[in-house]
């Protein structure tokens, strides 16, 4: 547990030192939001309806950027090998990395949601916005666990920029569907009490993948690498 916290603080410190990198992920999410708005046309009504989808796609696209970057520094300094050699468990290493990635993606949430509110003139109160950000966080957690597992593998490859989204995107279809639906229900009102089942599904995905990926991580990274 203490090694987990040490690793996590190391990752977060790294994130802070490289804040230009984290900011570029944020900027990328904002650009995605803009591009989708241009693609869907200036009609505010259409944009408002598409808001959940646009938000989740912005999260999805920026997640690959963040995840691809997350192992780059380690690879460059051969620091992962150093960590693997040290007596920290690979499982702790995974949870630290995944948490750092989830936190980075979470931190995009408030900004992107706020921008969507402004751009699409959504008339929502603070409570609804908080719920949207909460759903964003759950989605981010769902992407971070399998994303970190796959990024650990693909970061060794020359074609990692292709490989990671190719593997990750079909896998996170449940996250995509559940968050889009849940966000839509939060925005338009939950007449038939469906929000709960989507939340359950999202949570189930998060729990399953956070545990399974933690178990599998040691096979993805070479021990004596």
Partner 1 sequence: MNIRKLLVLAGLGLAAVGTYFGLFVAPPERHMGDVQRIMYVHVPSAWIAMLLYTLAFGFAIALLWSGRQKWDDLMVGAIEVGVVLNALLLVQGSLWGRATWGVWWDWDVRLTTSLVMAILFAGVLVLRRMAPNEERRSQWSAVATVVAFIDVPLVYFCVRWWRSLHQIQSSPDTVDPAMVLPLRLNSFGLLFLALAWMLWRAAIERSSRRASEVPLPTRVAIEESAHA
Q: Min. distance of Cβ 166 from partner 1 in angstroms?
A: 6
Q: How far apart are the first and last CA of the chain?
A: 24
Query: DSSP assignment, residue 116?
Result: H
Q: Pick the piece of the chain touching partner 1 (CB under 8 A) from 9-17, 56-64, 71-79, 201-209.
A: 201-209
Decide if residue 201 touches partner 1 (CB under 8 A).
Answer: yes
Judged by CB under 8 A, the residue of 90, 103, 122, 208 near partner 1 is 208
Q: How many residues does the chain have?
A: 225
Per residue in 140-171, is it b (16+ CB within 10 Å) or e — as a string?
A: bbbbbbbbbbbbbbbbeeeebeebbbebbeeb
**Among the listed residues 202, 24, 41, the one whose alpha carbon sits nearest the alpha carbon of residue 119:** 41
Q: Binding of partner 1 at residue 193 (CB under 8 A)?
A: no
Instruction: In whole angstroms, give the CA distance from residue 195 to residue 188.
Output: 11
- Please report whether residue 219 would count as binding partner 1 according to CB under 8 A: yes
Q: How many CA atoms lie within 13 A of 211 on its CB side?
A: 5
Which 143-162 positions form the footprint of partner 1 (CB under 8 A)?
A: 146, 149-150, 153-154, 156-157, 159
207 binds partner 1 (CB under 8 A): no
CA angle, 15 then 16 then 22, to 5°:
55
Report how far residue 194's alpha carbon sits from residue 202's, in angstroms, rounded to the nearest whole number.
13
Q: Is residue 80 a contact point for partner 1 (CB under 8 A)?
A: no
Smallest gap, in angstroms, from Cβ of residue 217 to partner 1?
Answer: 8
Q: How far is the CB of 157 from partner 1 (least distance, A)?
A: 5
List residues binding partner 1 (CB under 8 A).
146, 149-150, 153-154, 156-157, 159, 163, 166-167, 170-171, 173-174, 177-178, 181, 194, 197-198, 201, 204-205, 208-209, 212-213, 216, 219-220, 222
């Amino acid at each position: 547990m203490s090694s987990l916290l040490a690793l996590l603080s190391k990752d977060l410190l790294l994130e802070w030192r490289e804040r230009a990198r984290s900011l570029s992920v944020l900027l990328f999410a904002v650009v995605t939001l803009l591009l989708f708005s241009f693609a869907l046309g200036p009609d505010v009504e259409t944009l408002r309806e598409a808001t959940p989808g646009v938000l989740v796609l912005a999260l999805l696209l920026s997640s690959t950027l963040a995840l691809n970057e997350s192992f780059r520094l380690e690879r460059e300094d051969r620091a992962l090998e150093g960590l693997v050699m040290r007596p920290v468990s690979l499982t702790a290493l995974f949870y630290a990395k995944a948490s750092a990635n989830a936190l980075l993606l979470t931190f995009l949430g408030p900004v992107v949601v706020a921008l969507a509110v402004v751009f699409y003139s959504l008339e929502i109160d603070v409570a609804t916005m908080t719920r949207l950000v909460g759903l964003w966080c759950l989605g981010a957690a769902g992407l971070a666990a399998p994303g970190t597992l796959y990024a650990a593998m693909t970061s060794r490859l020359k074609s990692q920029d292709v490989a990671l989204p190719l593997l990750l995107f079909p896998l996170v279809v449940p996250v995509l569907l559940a968050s889009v639906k849940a966000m839509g229900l939060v925005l338009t009102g939950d007449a038939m009490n469906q929000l709960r089942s989507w939340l359950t599904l999202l949570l189930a995905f998060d729990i399953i993948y956070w545990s399974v990926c933690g178990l599998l991580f040691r096979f993805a990274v070479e021990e004596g690498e």
